[in-house]
Amino acid sequence: MGLTAIFCASTLLALLISSSTTAQSPPAPFLPPSPAPAPAPAPAPHLVNLTDLLSVAGPFSTFLNYLLQTKVIDTFQNQVNSSKQGITIFVPKDSAFAALEKSDLGNLTQNQLRTLMLYHAFPKFYSLSQFKNLSNSNPVSTFAGGQYALNVTDTSGLIRVVSNWATSKISSSVWSTAPVALYQIDKVLLPLAIFSTDPPLAPAPAPAPETKKPSDLSPTQSGIASAPKSSESSTTNGSSFGTSICLFNYLVLVLSGVLMLIM
With 80 as the cut, is the pLDDT of residue 204 above it? no
Cα–Cα distance between 106 and 121 in angstroms, integer? 21
Q: Which residues contact 127 (CB under 8 A, 6 or more apart)?
A: 176, 181
CA distances from 238 to 11, 195, 244, 252 (A): 173, 82, 10, 22
Q: What are phi and psi of 249, to 5 degrees?
A: -65, -40
Q: What is the pLDDT of residue 199?
A: 78
CATH number of 50-194: 2.30.180.10
Span 214-255, pLDDT tens digits: 555 444 444 444 444 444 444 455 555 555 555 666 565 656
Give me the chain's average pLDDT, please. Answer: 79
Cα–Cα distance between 30 and 227 in angstroms, integer? 129
Span 93-105, pLDDT tens digits: 999 999 999 889 9
Its pTM stands at: 0.63
The domain limits of the chain are: 50-194
Which residues are 188's β-sheet partners?
none
Helix (H, G, I), strand (E, B) or coil at 118: helix
With 70 as the cut, is the pLDDT of residue 157 above it? yes
Cα–Cα distance between 159 and 119 in angstroms, integer? 18
Identify the CA nearest to 63 among candidates 48, 75, 77, 73: 73
Cα–Cα distance between 72 and 146 in angstroms, integer? 17
